[in-house]
Chains A and B, each alone.
Chain A
């Protein structure tokens, strides 16, 4: 079946550092890919998405590119802020059966 694997946390960085959170997937078809973010005490919200190969999703300074050849969707940000501290989830949507599958999440701590 489909699956999503993302790097384990926690990840701790200083403010203004460069961020990469790795995400790889396995899927039988051509899924859509997503990054969701969960701020402390809140539900999840969509951060960015890409629906086909080579698409780049971007939002709030975060970017991720859908790489079919490496089955990856790594999340990047050039300069993180303390307010970016949250848990980040990579997710996959299968068009065939409407299942939406999440990775285990990566907790990010940004130090001032």
Chain B
């Protein structure tokens, strides 16, 4: 089945450690997105990528980094510089470079807890 796979589903880390969240899609979508979901805050855009080897900062990019070396993969690294990293992270993709219908397909999310 086609879809978006995020891993791990749950992750714990100690303060000061970097952690990388995986996002893989087999939908042949061009664009991929990372959002952070916090209670009462909705979804906030961290980074997005419209094509391979290119990505743009979203509204809350500080303390995060991404790469887009392959079309199907868009990993997110939460660095030690991120002041409040405990959150639910959602990856999404959509079809069509230059054809922005806006319809996103989401993974099931990764919940990161910093101890």
B residues 66-109 near A (Cβ < 8 Å) are: 90, 92, 94, 100-104, 106-109
Q: Which B residue's beta carbon lies closest to that of A93?
A: B102
Q: Please state if A101 and B106 are interface contacts (CB–CB under 8 Å).
A: no
B45 and A43 contact, CB distance less than 8 A: no
The answer to whether B102 touches A100 (Cβ under 8 A) is yes
Residues of B within 8 A of A97 (CB): 56
Residues of A whose CB lies within 8 Å of any CB of B are 32, 34, 36, 42-46, 49, 51, 89, 91-95, 97-105
Q: How many residues does chain B have at the interface if contact means C-beta atoms less than 8 Å apart? A: 25
B42 close to A104 (CB less than 8 A): yes
Complex interface: chain A residues within 8 A of B100 (CB): 32, 93-95, 98
6 nearest A-B pairs in the assembled complex, by CB-CB distance: A93-B102, A104-B42, A43-B106, A102-B43, A32-B102, A44-B106
Contact A43 B107 (CB under 8 A): yes
Q: Are B50 and A98 in contact (CB under 8 A)?
A: yes
Chain B's nearest CB lies how many Å from the CB of A29? 11
Counting chain A CB atoms within 10 Å of each CB, the highest count among B33, B40, B42, B109 belongs to B42
CB-based contact B106/A105 at 8 Å: no
Complex CA gap A42/B88 in Å reads 11
Contacts of B42 in A (CB 8 A): 89, 102-105
The 7 listed contacts between A and B (C-beta, < 8 Å) are A34-B102, A36-B104, A44-B43, A44-B92, A49-B102, A100-B94, A104-B41
Nearest-neighbour CB distance to chain A for B9, whole angstroms, equals: 11
Given known contacts A34-B102, A45-B106, is B33 in contact with A100 (CB within 8 Å)? yes
When distances are taken between beta carbons in the complex, the residues of chain A under 8 Å from B48 are 98-100
The answer, among A34, A42, A99, for a CB contact under 8 Å with B45, is A99
Point out the residue from B41, B44, B58, B90 that lies within 8 Å of A43, measured CB to CB: B90
User: Which of chain B's residues have a CB closer than 8 A to the CB of A101?
Assistant: 45
- Say how far A30's CB is from chain B's closest CB, in angstroms: 12
CB distance from A75 to the nearest CB of B (A): 15
